[in-house]
Amino acid sequence: MMHDLMTAIEQAVHQRKIKKELAFRNALLATQLELSPDGIITTDKEGVILRVNANAEKMTGRNKNELEDMHFIEAIGLIPAHKDLLKTVIDSVLSGNIAIPAKPIMVMLKNPSTNESLTLHVKIDPARFSDSNISEMIFIFTPYKADV
């Protein structure tokens, strides 16, 4: 009986430690997301937007509330040819048919608020949590530079 009590206490302490670590990591991620000079959008593996930073809001012309829960490809205002290209790359990465592109992909999007066209580099970074399956996709947008 005493052994069972000690085991339960050890499990509770371990769970509390894990929850504290997770809260710290989430706070750190939120801080990094907001301080980044790049536009960053994270999605689930189906492409539904989970998080965006202020620079991604500026680039897309939509606020966080509008972007969250939208599908990434539809939300960011890509021109049709780049929409198809990015969708093909994402689908291929998720299916394991191709490796993650080493170089950023150049895309064009149109900001619906300003009607401004932007040429950006997008870097795709699949995130894996707890196992080898992709659970989130991270998209990092930077202004286009010819030398990248």
Could you read off the pLDDT of 95-106 as tens digits, one per residue? 776 666 667 888
The number of C-alpha atoms within 13 Å of 75 and in the hemisphere containing its C-beta is 25
Dist. CA 104–CA 3, nearest whole Å? 56
**Domain annotation covers residue 110:** yes
Alpha helices, H only, 46-144: 54-60, 64-67, 72-75, 80-95
Q: Is the pTM of this model over 0.75?
A: no
| pLDDT lower than 70: segments of the chain | 1-2, 97-102, 128-133, 145-148
Instruction: Give the pair of three-digit tokens for residue 129.
Output: 């949590």
Residues 107 and 50 occupy one common structural domain:
yes
Dist. CA 78–CA 74, nearest whole Å? 8
Residues 28 and 42 occupy one common structural domain:
no
Residues 76 and 13 occupy one common structural domain:
no
Number of domains in the chain: 2
**Domain annotation covers residue 31:** yes
Domain hosting 54: range is: 38-143
Q: What is the pLDDT of residue 133?
A: 67
